[in-house]
Amino acid sequence: MGHERLSRDTDPKARRRPRRRRALWPYLYALPAVSATAFAFGFPLVQVVKDSFYAGNFDAPIWVGLDNYKGVIHDPSFRTSLLNNLKLLGTVPVMIVLGLAIALVLNDRIRGMRQYQAVVFLPYILPATAIGLCFSFLLQENGVLNTALRGAHLNFLAQDWLGNSHLSIGSVGGLVVWQQLGFCVVVFTAALLALPPETSEAARIDGAGWWALQRRILVPQIRPIIELIAVIQVITALSWVFNYVYILTSGGPGYASSVMELYIWRSFSNGANGTAASVAVMLLGMASVLIGLSLWVRKQVERA
Amino acid sequence: MRGRVVGIAARHAFLWLVCLSALYPLYFIVATALKSNAAYQLDPTGFPSHPTLSSLRAIVVDNPMPRWMWNSLLVTVSAVAVSTLIALLAAYAVVFGRFQGHRLFLSTNVALMVVPPVTLLVPMFVLMVDTGWINHLQSVIVFYTGLLVPFAVFFLSNFFRTVPHELVEAASVEGAGPFTVLRRIVLPLSGAAAFTLVIVQAIWVWNELLIALVFLQNDRARTLMAGLAQFQGRYAQNQPLVLAGALISIAPVVLLYLSGQRFFVRGLTAGIGK
């Protein structure tokens, strides 16, 4: 999951040094890294594109052109999976709004800020597998959540959160928010604390209320960071949710909560490697658009 | 004045609510793991008034848990150590060597950081079958090592930029070779950054599920997460057992977090804080 990071790529040493003869050692030092990434990324990325045009098993692949892609696009369970990824995009505004709210409250130099922050961040580092198991028990038909709801005489709210095909992807989204929220909070808090205090002082002296101060002064100043987090969470929702789905619902019931990653995994498990590869290529296509976007937003953050 | 007090109280109440929601699932794991299945069936949400280690013992005896933990540890240590070493050299070359194409190299690494591993899975699986490494730990170790390199290069390059160039140049002028400068000048300054990086990477490897699930299908070869993922089906009727397993997998991460929280926060949000 979220192995994507943020950079404020300030480069105070970027001024060019006087041109000397190019030394050889930097190439040698970069070589292991280039080889490692060529092995772990370069090779499989090239191979997966190739595989997507073949069917059959790996000993005797048959060229089928675009048939894998056509088959996938007409497969209702693929469409469901894609749609579910898009539904998971709904987690992004939730996380941004909630994360901002928490960060703004923390930014008021509230007592115990560090402790609060430490607790809020904790879910982010935990293994999604273990957390997913826990949530699957909390959310099941006769699980803790429903017991609590029935106890509060809110029976109509007690639902089969994982077994109902309309709700299961929403439950996955809930788990994503629960785990990723702390990341947003910590990043936003750091950005707010780094702001120069003069602007808010001036606004306060001019009589701006708390709400106006947050909305008109503080939030606009960290806007580039908010955008960067949004892009990162969009990438997460589209392509880094396998663990949550696999553990919580296995994509079920049926394909109701499947996502593209799970569709790839299921096709691969069924021996349909060409199908798996073609979906992987589509996912990569989407990811590269987002990667391009994230590099661009990063530049904006650097400039801000 | 009273409005201020109310405002502060409301903020604390809000933060307490957030913290409770963050912690409740953890409490549920610990509380359930300390119950017998019978006690759990009677009262799933209650406090474990008669705590017992029987579920924890049963899950360890019933499965090769120590073996899985050892596998996870071995995989984590080797992948993190090798990738950090590789990235140290590369980041040093990027920042102090400024070789031709270092910008392209760096932005390639930044882009690779967000490539979803699932898209690389099938070709790598076929490769591992061909090499006969399936069900052997080296299959995941080499793959993880490669996957960790881009973030490590990015992180260390950012850090090395904060090392004063004058120090490095002074040493070079005095005739120290690049490796000596790296070892004598740059590395001693990088302790905290390297430690932060190692923690972040270790957490990622320890938590990784998909690749371990596919590459390690033999019960003795599994990592802890791949083993844990089997429990749901295996112990559908005994949830305390499942959560006892979950507790064992979470405990090292939480202990590490409690002892070095600032490294986690700094590393996982690298580049944002100042």
User: Looking at the complex, does the CB of residue B92 fall below 8 Å from at least one CB of chain A?
Assistant: yes
Give B13 or B268, the one with higher predicted confidence: B13
For B210, which of A8, A122, A242 is closest by C-beta distance? Answer: A242
List of chain B residues whose C-beta atoms are within 8 Å of the C-beta of residue A126: 26, 207, 250, 253-254
In whole angstroms, give the CA distance from residue A18 to residue A81.
55
Contact A116 B229 (CB under 8 A): no
Find which of A6, A134, A211 to mutate to test the B interface (most B CBs within 10 Å of its CB): A134
Residues of B in contact with A143 (CB under 8 A): 44
Assigned CATH topology for domain B64-234: MetI-like fold (1.10.3720)
Domain CATH for A262: 1.10.3720.10
Over chain A, what is the mean pLDDT? Answer: 88
A33 in a structural domain: no
Which chain A residue is nearest to residue B12, measuring alpha carbons?
Answer: A110
Residue A279 amino acid letter = V
pLDDT, position B1: 58
Max mean pLDDT among A109-118, A133-142, B77-86 falls in B77-86
pLDDT band at A10 (very low <50, low <70, confident <90, very high): very low
Minimal Cα–Cα distance from B243 to chain A, Å? 7
What's the distance, Cα to Cα, between the start and end of chain A in Å? 28
* Residues A35, A38, A40, A41, CA torsion sign: positive
B99 and A22: CB-CB below 8 Å?
Answer: yes
Give mean pLDDT, residues A222-240: 90
Q: Is pLDDT above 70 for A2?
A: no
Q: Provide, as residue numbers in chain B, all residues whose Cβ is less than 8 Å from the Cβ of A1.
A: 207
The average pLDDT across B211-218 equals: 95
User: What dihedral do alpha carbons A15, A21, A27, A28 form, nearest 10°?
Assistant: -130
The distance of B29 to chain A (nearest Cα, Å) reads 6
Instruction: Give the pLDDT mean for B205-233.
Output: 94
**Cβ B225 vs Cβ A129: under 8 Å:** yes
Task: Tell me if A76 is assigned to some domain.
Answer: yes
Report the share of chain B in percent with pLDDT over 70.
Answer: 97
Residue B19 in contact with partner chain A when CB distance is under 8 A? yes
How many A×B Cβ pairs under 8 Å? Answer: 316
Identify whether A23 is part of a domain. Answer: no
Say what the pLDDT of residue A74 is. Answer: 96
Give residue B2's pLDDT: 66
Please give the pLDDT value at position B118.
94
In this predicted model, what pLDDT tens digit does every residue of B6-25 receive, in sequence order?
888 999 999 999 999 999 99
Position A7 pLDDT exceeds 50? no
Residue recorded with tokens 């992807």: A169
The ipTM, to two decimals, is 0.91
Output the pLDDT for position B147: 97
Q: Which residue has the higher pLDDT, B185 or B18?
A: B18
Write the single-letter amino acid at A102. Answer: I
Given a cut of 80, whether residue A300 has pLDDT beyond it is: no
B21, B100, B261: residue with CB nearest A22: B100
Q: Do A122 and B257 count as a contact with CB atoms less than 8 A apart?
A: yes
* Nearest alpha-carbon partner for A88 in A225, A227, A262: A262
The ranges assigned to domains in chain B are 2-56, 64-234
Record: contact B154-A129, CB cut-off 8 A: no
Interface contact flag, B97 A105, Cβ < 8 Å: no
Q: Would you say residue A21 lies in a domain?
A: no
CA distance B62 to chain A (A): 18
CB contact under 8 A, B153 and A33: yes
The answer to whether A185 and A123 have CB atoms below 8 angstroms apart is no
Q: Is B126 on the interface with A (CB under 8 A)?
A: yes
In a domain, A31, yes or no: no
Q: Give the model's pLDDT for residue B260.
A: 79
Structure tokens at B83: 């990738």
Q: Kindly tell me if the per-residue pLDDT of A206 is higher than 80.
A: yes
Cβ distance A6 to B8 less than 8 Å, yes or no, reads no
Query: Strands A62-63 and A54-55: what pairing?
Result: antiparallel
Q: Which residue type occupies B209?
A: L
Q: Over 90: is that where the pLDDT of A141 sits?
A: no
DSSP structure class, residue A63: E
In the numeric block, which tokens belong to residue A6? 């943020």
> Which residues does chain B have within 8 Å of residue A110's beta carbon, measured at their own beta carbons?
8, 11-12, 15
B149 and A29 in contact by Cβ < 8 A?
no
- Name the residue of chain A whose CA is nearest to B163's CA: A13
Q: Do A138 and B25 touch (CB under 8 A)?
A: yes
Q: Which residues of B touch A242 (CB under 8 A)?
A: 118, 209-210
Reported as a pLDDT band with limits 50, 70 and 90, residue A154 is confident
- Facing A134 at nearest CB: one of B165, B246, B253: B246
Give the 3-state secondary structure of residue A163. coil
CA angle B37/B42/B46 to nearest 5° reads 95
CB-CB: which of A23, A129, A291 is closest to B97? A23
pLDDT tens sequence across A83-127: 999 999 999 999 999 999 999 999 988 889 989 999 999 999 999
- For residues B33 and B244, give the distance between their C-alpha atoms in angstroms, rounded to a whole number: 4
Verify whether the Cβ–Cβ distance B25 to A136 is below 8 Å. no
User: B187 or B266, which is more confident?
Assistant: B187
Nearest-neighbour CA in chain B from A54: distance (Å): 13
DSSP state of A134: H
| Confidence band, pLDDT 50/70/90 cuts, at residue A304 | low
Testing the interface with A: which of B92, B216, B269, B274 to mutate, by most A Cβ within 10 A? B269
* Residue A20 confidence class, pLDDT cut points 50, 70, 90: low
Q: What are phi and psi of B178, to 5 degrees?
A: -60, -40
Tokens 């892009």: give the residue: A231
Nearest CA in chain B to A145: B45
Residue A217: inside a domain, yes or no? Answer: yes
CA-to-CA distance for B256 and B263, rounded, in angstroms?
10
For the segment B136-164, what is each residue's pLDDT rounded down to a tens digit? 999 999 999 999 999 999 999 999 998 88
Query: Which residues of chain A lie closer than 8 angstroms to B111, CB-CB?
Result: 288, 291, 295
Is A55 inside any structural domain? no
- The number of domains in chain A is 1
Those residues with Cβ within 8 angstroms of residue A166's Cβ, 6 or more apart along the chain or in another chain: A256
pLDDT above 90 for A73:
yes
Query: Which stretch of B9-18, B123-132, B186-195, B222-231 has the lowest confidence by average pLDDT?
Result: B186-195
User: Which range of residues forms the domain containing residue A168?
Assistant: 62-303
* B149 and chain A in contact, CB less than 8 A: yes
pLDDT of B262 reads 77
CA angle (A167, A184, B148) in 5-degree steps: 95
Tokens of B268: 């996982």
Mean local confidence (pLDDT), B32-59: 90
The three-state secondary structure class of A62 is strand
Hey, what long-range contacts does B4-12 have (CB within 8 A, 24 or more apart)?
Answer: B7/A210, B8/A110, B11/A105, B11/A108, B11/A110, B12/A110, B12/A112
Whether A35 is covered by a domain: the verdict is no
Confidence of residue A128 (pLDDT cuts 50, 70, 90): very high
